[in-house]
Chains A and B, each alone.
Chain A
Amino acid sequence: MATKSLLKRNNELANAQKQLSFLNGGIFADGELPTFADKIKEINQFPLRPKKLEILQINVGYMCNQVCEHCHVDAGPDRKEIMTVETMKQCLEVIKNTGAHTLDLTGGAPEMNPNFRWFVEEASKAGIKDFIVRSNLTIIRANKKYHDLPEFFKKYNVHVVSSMPHYTRGKTDKQRGNGVFDKSIQALKDLNAVGYGMPDSNLKLDLVYNPSGAFLPGDQMALEKDFKKALLEDFNISFHNLFAITNLPISRFLDYLIASENYEDYMYALVEAYNPSAVANVMCTNTISVSWDGWLYDCDFNQMLGLKVDSKIKHISDYNEDILNDRNILISQHCFGCTAGAGSSCQGTVA
């Protein structure tokens, strides 16, 4: 299990250009497989265009207490990219005026940003309908200073979305590191204890499931049923919904696919599972992603590939929703990850 990010290891896939040339080359360059552009041209969806903005997703930094094998952010303890108070203030201006109904904070471990709590307090004043924080769970148990996070989230009525790759220890620890399962279980109990995830509670606790390997997620409803049964029976833990998310072939997951000689099979699987009816609802059509340094992207994946929005507005300091919404969405072969099977987004399936 790696303990350092690709960047720290000087792995060439830490470079976004390298990743893009990989995704545009090989089996896609020689015509063995159709490109994503080819496929969406078939249904007259090229160029892909945004619909009404619904979700503002802000990445407050790439620092994380974990180094997950599949992480598309290449996050880890050695990443120093952290959103400053100045950029947060620019984000707050946008949050106050946005037409989006959902504010989605992500990272890294967003809680590790030293100004995270201040930012949540200020952002909550805007009264956005659904205020999500993506928490990796173990952060709550990582250090005493984070133990009160469940109470803090409750105070600001934050919707907690947490990653949980499996309901068994072995699979979870293999993907996320030794001890992650036990810490995650304890963190879920802490969240349940303040009311999060309980059957009739308004304190929303959803889990995110990513496959721990080179395969696609199964049926979201069936997985949710299995997770609910196992977590309740084995640990007396409750949660609301499970989002099944497909791993996209970028960053550390791409590195894993190549190193394990699964890349071609995985891309075949994604292309074969291409579902045209998922295209209309892919998350880049209703989301703007903001990076730790304020740049704007179509989604968190394009952020990691360095693909800034194709608009004259490229930075949060110049934010203008109307101008931004009149843009073409940038695509590459990683986009097949969001249209496979029932589709995939940060909110789970889309088709």
Chain B
Amino acid sequence: MSKTYYDPADLRKFGKITEWSEELGTKFFEYYGKVFEEGALSAREKSLIALAVSHVVKCPYCIDAYTKDGLQKGITKEEMMEAVHAGAAIESGATLVHGVQMMNKYNKLSM
């Protein structure tokens, strides 16, 4: 057993999840592959969205994978960082908008 929770080499083994639940694993990977195909959004745009979400969900495997994917697609580091900021802005906004709840509660409880 690895002594750390995350091992970069585990990313290569992602496909193995299918071995313990073939139907669900296969369906997931089919869906996953389809999502990232060229569609109404370009594969390039989807790669940037995936990179932003990877940061928001704080998945180190996804960050490795979509940084590499971005490089392969010719995406620049400036574009990648802006995508990360877009994710971070939503995440911090999601925290801050709860400030309104705090204000509401504060006001309700105060004379």
Docked-complex contact B68 and A215, CB < 8 angstroms? yes
Q: Mark B34-47, 1 if CB is under 8 A from A, else 0.
A: 00001000111000
Number of interface residues of A (CB under 8 A): 20
Docked-complex contact A272 and B12, CB < 8 angstroms? yes
Point out the residue from B8, B12, B73, B76 that lies within 8 Å of A218, measured CB to CB: B73
Docked-complex contact A226 and B72, CB < 8 angstroms? no
Point out the residue from A213, A222, A268 that lies within 8 Å of B44, measured CB to CB: A222
The smallest C-beta distance from A196 to any residue of chain B, in angstroms, reads 23
Confirm or deny: A3 has a beta carbon within 8 angstroms of a beta carbon on chain B: no
Residue of A at shortest CB range from B8? A265
Note all chain B residues with C-beta closer than 8 A to A211. 71-72
Q: Give residues 58-78 of B contacting A (CB, 8 Å).
A: 68, 71-74, 76-77
- Given the interface pairs A211-B71, A272-B12, the reply to whether A219 lies near B76 with Cβ below 8 Å is no
Note all chain B residues with C-beta closer than 8 A to A227. 74
Note all chain A residues with C-beta closer than 8 A to B72. 211, 215-218
- Given the interface pairs A268-B12, A272-B12, the reply to whether A218 lies near B74 with Cβ below 8 Å is yes
Residue of A at shortest CB range from B38? A222
Note all chain B residues with C-beta closer than 8 A to A268. 12
- Inter-chain CA distance A280–B68, complex, in Å, is 28
> Chain B interface (Cβ within 8 Å of chain A)?
8, 12, 38, 42-44, 68, 71-74, 76-77
Q: Can you offer 22 A-B residue contacts whose CB atoms are under 8 A?
A: A166-B74, A167-B74, A209-B74, A211-B72, A213-B71, A215-B68, A215-B71, A215-B72, A216-B72, A217-B72, A218-B72, A218-B73, A218-B74, A219-B43, A219-B73, A222-B38, A222-B42, A222-B44, A222-B73, A223-B73, A223-B74, A272-B12
